[in-house]
């Protein structure tokens, strides 16, 4: 077993909600008064779990509460969780841009964090000047940058532009240059936040390749935060799932992704929106029902699935289209279908039938959108509904979790020839 | 939990970095600042290069601003208000005052918004935050140097025209005085920048306080002008006064120079700077939450 390079013990971070104003001063004074009498911070006990959706009674929330984990050398830890689960806060603490309220973090070796590419890039400076400046901000010395300068320029593919101010760069060049500086940093521990969300597909592949190199080839430790389960699954060996500021799961990456999807995909067979008079086009409600019109989120592949929803349309625009789309749990699109709507059609209820046994067992998410093709997206309800198709004994159920695609289309097999002896 | 903890006890010293909620008040991590000296000079360079990109006159602007201020002061305070200049040629008197005052005020105002102006970088990456205010002080030395060159060329010009101009060993004190000014500006600046992270009121305060402070410092009048004045003590208790006076004395060998009051300034500066460092260090750890 390799050595432990990061050890996090009962790490917690408290934030105060609301604005900084006169009220803050009184809390500060009260805190100071407790401190000089040698008492504990009076506000440390009042923090609440960080659940954004429910209104709390306290102004203090725990963005992170009692986090414990260890990372070994060479591991690539994927940190996942919903928005607001505490991922960014954890990264901020690890990269020392803010300090914890309680708990400790211990680390071994040089740490570099890449929370955003191009931190400290100055638009007026040339590419070359920015490489040096950005490198130094990230902790490199002048000699280190000198020795890697050519590789950085080559990786970014900006040779012709090194002496031009970066404000004249295309946004792609800018990002490539910024990532290149960070990629050649060679720290022992690299902390990366969704920087891969930028750049074209080719560059993203290169960036992932580079990160893989860094971890597998050079034995460095990488902490990686992303919402993209695809790149997480490609890159990481271990996973850390955060939920409302607590560790929900910390195991091998495939298990953690599974846990995340289970938590994240709250299966809802109904969607309801308040009627908004300011909007003249709106999806009012949607539900998934079975043959008997009973709401359901669980189907076997011998059942038909119905999606019912009502829309309101008081728009004069012509050519409006209502579409529904199905996605799997990794957000891969499975199909989209649509129907056109007349201008000013008023209230309409649709019932869409999905035939039985055309999908493989999986969890599905349904999105509903109203748009004018190629012109304007009027309203879109991403993942309005979700349902699960349970494997009720298809021939593939034997293979467990292997990916066998989405569909069971009518495929016809024929044996044309079969000889025992040629 | 207890198990892992006791098992790790022996390798506890191996950690290169331990992040805890509260550090020792006097753990100033100056060694780390030293390691980032490359960054400091790159910041200085950035300030310079970026400031004059796409200007025609470029660094010449450093001449123009003090020149016009000097002319204005000369007309208003010398010719109109008839304030004496300690026997120093008025234009040199004002220009030297402006040079050293500009240095102090630009150090102070620029360092005082370290946190709020750089929240973008600070929120994304860690480096010793002190590097930024230090870089400001250094890049202002260069600007001061340019203004000083202007002053010097004027003095040479007057010397050629047969005027009595003092050039002497006392000039060796000038760097010391500049360093004192630098630490004064830096010390006050980082105190204010630490306070402004939470309470923005101080930015507003500083805006006019610096302006008022100039009138409480012998820039447009010599200290000797106040002898016998009821409020003269107010000016002499200003810790900037001895530095400005000593600066002029070193340059022209005229004015009021007293080692005792200069010592007073030095002690004041050390206290302010150290207090500022402790405060800055305290705030830099978590200012991102309040800025």
pLDDT tens digits for B265-276? 999 999 999 999
Are the beta carbons of A99 and B42 separated by less than 8 Å? no
Are the beta carbons of A9 and B49 separated by less than 8 Å? no
For residue A408, give how far its alpha carbon lies from the nearest alpha carbon of chain B (Å): 48
Domains belonging to chain A, first-starting first, are: 72-110+187-264 (3.40.50.300), 270-399 (2.70.50.60)
- pLDDT averaged over chain A? 81
- What phi and psi, each to the nearest 5 degrees, are found at residue A251? -140, -160
Backbone region of residue A12 per phi and psi (left: phi > 0; alpha: psi in -120 to 50; beta: other values):
beta
For residue A4, give how far its alpha carbon lies from the nearest alpha carbon of chain B (Å): 10
Contacts of A132 in chain B (CB under 8 A): 42
pLDDT tens digits for A18-77? 655 555 667 777 777 776 666 666 666 666 666 655 555 566 788 888 899 999 988 889
**Which residue in the set B16, B54, B122 is minimally distant from A108, CB to CB?**
B16
Between A and B, how many residue pairs show a Cβ–Cβ distance under 8 A? 107
B120 or B153, higher pLDDT? B153
For residue A202, count other CB atoms closer than 10 A to its CB.
Answer: 8
ipTM (interface pTM): 0.78
Residue B80: band (very low, low, confident or very high) from pLDDT cuts 50, 70, 90? very high
Contacts of B121 in chain A (CB under 8 A): 119-120, 137
Strand runs (DSSP E) across A228-343, as ranges?
Answer: 238-243, 246-252, 270-272, 281-289, 298-300, 305-313, 320-328, 333-341
Q: Which of A252, A219, A256 is nearest to A237 (CA)?
A: A252
For residue B125, give how far its alpha carbon lies from the nearest alpha carbon of chain A (Å): 6
Q: Does B274 touch chain A (CB under 8 A)?
A: no
Q: Above pLDDT 70, what percent of chain A? A: 84
Q: Which of A234, A30, A225 is nearest to A114 (CA)?
A: A225
> Which residues share a beta bridge with A239?
A78, A251
**Which residue in the set A102, A119, A142 is minimally distant from B124, CB to CB?**
A119
Contacts of B4 in chain A (CB under 8 A): 70
pLDDT tens digits for A273-314? 877 777 888 899 999 998 888 888 878 777 889 999 999 999
Rounded CA-CA distance B271/B188 in Å is 10
- Determine the residue among B38, B43, B118 to mutate to test chain A binding: the one whose Cβ has the most chain A Cβ atoms within 10 Å: B38
Calculate the alpha carbon distances from A88 to A13, A107, A234, A241, B180 in Å: 12, 18, 21, 13, 42
pLDDT tens digits for A177-200? 888 887 787 788 888 887 655 566
pLDDT tens digits for B112-143? 888 888 888 888 888 888 999 999 999 999 88
pLDDT tens digits for A312-353? 999 888 889 999 999 887 777 889 999 999 888 889 999 999
pLDDT tens digits for A123-141? 888 899 889 988 888 888 8
Q: Which of B158, B154, B116 is nearest to B133 (CA)?
A: B116
Contacts of A55 (CB under 8 A, 6+ apart): none
């Amino acid at each position: 077993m390799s050595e432990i390079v990061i050890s996090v013990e009962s790490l917690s971070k408290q934030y105060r909600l609301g604005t900084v104003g006169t009220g803050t001063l009184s809390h500060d004074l009260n805190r100071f008064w407790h401190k000089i009498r040698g008492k504990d911070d009076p506000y440390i006990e009042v923090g609440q779990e960080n659940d954004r959706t429910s209104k709390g009674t306290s102004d203090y929330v725990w963005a992170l509460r009692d986090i414990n984990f260890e990372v070994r050398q060479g591991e690539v830890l994927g940190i996942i969780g919903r928005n607001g689960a505490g991922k960014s806060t954890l990264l901020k603490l690890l990269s020392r841009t803010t300090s914890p309220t309680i708990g400790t973090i211990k680390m071994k070796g040089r740490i570099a964090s890449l929370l955003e590419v191009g931190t400290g890039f100055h638009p007026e400076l040339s590419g070359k000047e920015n490489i040096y400046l950005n490198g130094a901000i990230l902790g490199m010395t002048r000699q280190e940058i000198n020795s890697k300068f050519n590789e950085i320029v080559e990786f970014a593919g900006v040779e012709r532009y090194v002496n031009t101010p970066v404000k004249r760069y295309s946004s792609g060049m800018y990002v490539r240059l910024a990532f290149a500086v960070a990629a050649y940093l060679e720290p022992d521990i690299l902390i990366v936040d969704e920087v891969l969300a930028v750049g074209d597909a080719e560059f993203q592949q290169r960036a992932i390749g580079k990160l893989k190199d860094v971890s597998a080839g050079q034995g460095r430790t990488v902490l990686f935060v992303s919402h993209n389960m695809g790149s997480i699954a490609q890159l990481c060996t271990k996973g850390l799932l955060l939920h409302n500021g607590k560790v929900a799961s910390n195991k091998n990456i495939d298990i953690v992704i599974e846990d995340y999807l289970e938590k994240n995909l709250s299966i809802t067979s109904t969607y309801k929106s308040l009627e908004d008079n300011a909007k003249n086009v709106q999806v009012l409600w949607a539900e998934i029902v079975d043959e008997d019109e009973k709401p359901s989120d669980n189907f076997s592949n011998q059942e038909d699935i119905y999606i019912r929803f009502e829309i309101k349309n008081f728009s004069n625009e012509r050519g409006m289209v209502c579409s529904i789309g199905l996605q799997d749990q990794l957000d891969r699109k499975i199909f989209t279908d649509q129907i056109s709507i007349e201008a000013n059609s008023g209230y309409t209820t649709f019932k869409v039938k999905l035939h039985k046994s055309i999908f493989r067992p999986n969890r599905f998410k349904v999105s509903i959108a109203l748009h004018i093709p190629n012109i304007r997206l009027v309203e879109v309800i991403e993942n309005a509904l979700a349902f699960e198709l349970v494997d009720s004994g298809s021939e593939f159920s034997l293979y467990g979790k292997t990916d066998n695609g989405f569909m069971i289309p009518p495929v016809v097999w024929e044996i044309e020839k079969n000889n025992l002896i040629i | 939990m207890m198990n892992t903890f006791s098992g790790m006890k022996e390798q506890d010293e191996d950690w290169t970095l331990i992040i805890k909620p509260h550090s020792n008040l006097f753990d100033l991590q100056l060694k780390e600042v030293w390691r980032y000296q490359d960054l400091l000079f790159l910041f200085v360079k950035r300030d310079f290069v970026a400031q004059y990109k796409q200007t025609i006159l470029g660094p010449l602007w450093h001449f123009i601003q003090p020149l016009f201020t000097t002319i204005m002061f000369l007309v208003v305070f010398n010719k109109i208000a008839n304030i004496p200049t300690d026997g120093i040629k008025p234009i040199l008197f004002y220009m030297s005052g402006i040079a050293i005052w500009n240095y102090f005020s630009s150090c102070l105002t620029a360092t005082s918004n370290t946190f709020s102006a750089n929240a973008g970088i600070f929120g994304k990456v860690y480096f010793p935050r002190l590097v930024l205010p230090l870089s400001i002080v250094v890049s202002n030395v260069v600007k001061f140097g340019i203004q000083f060159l202007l002053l010097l060329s004027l003095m040479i010009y007057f010397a050629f025209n047969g005027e009595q101009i003092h050039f002497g060993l006392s000039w060796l004190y000038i760097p010391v005085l500049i360093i004192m000014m630098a630490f004064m500006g830096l010390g006050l600046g980082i105190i204010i920048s630490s306070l402004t992270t939470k309470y923005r009121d101080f930015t507003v305060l500083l805006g006019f306080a610096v302006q008022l402070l100039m009138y409480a410092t012998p820039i447009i009048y010599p200290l000797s002008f106040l002898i016998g004045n009821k409020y003269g003590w107010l000016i002499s208790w200003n810790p900037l006064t001895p530095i400005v006076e000593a600066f002029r004395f070193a340059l022209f060998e005229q004015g009021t120079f007293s080692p005792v009051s200069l010592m007073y300034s030095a002690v004041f500066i050390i206290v302010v700077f150290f207090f500022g460092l402790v405060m800055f260090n305290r705030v830099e750890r978590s200012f991102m939450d309040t800025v």
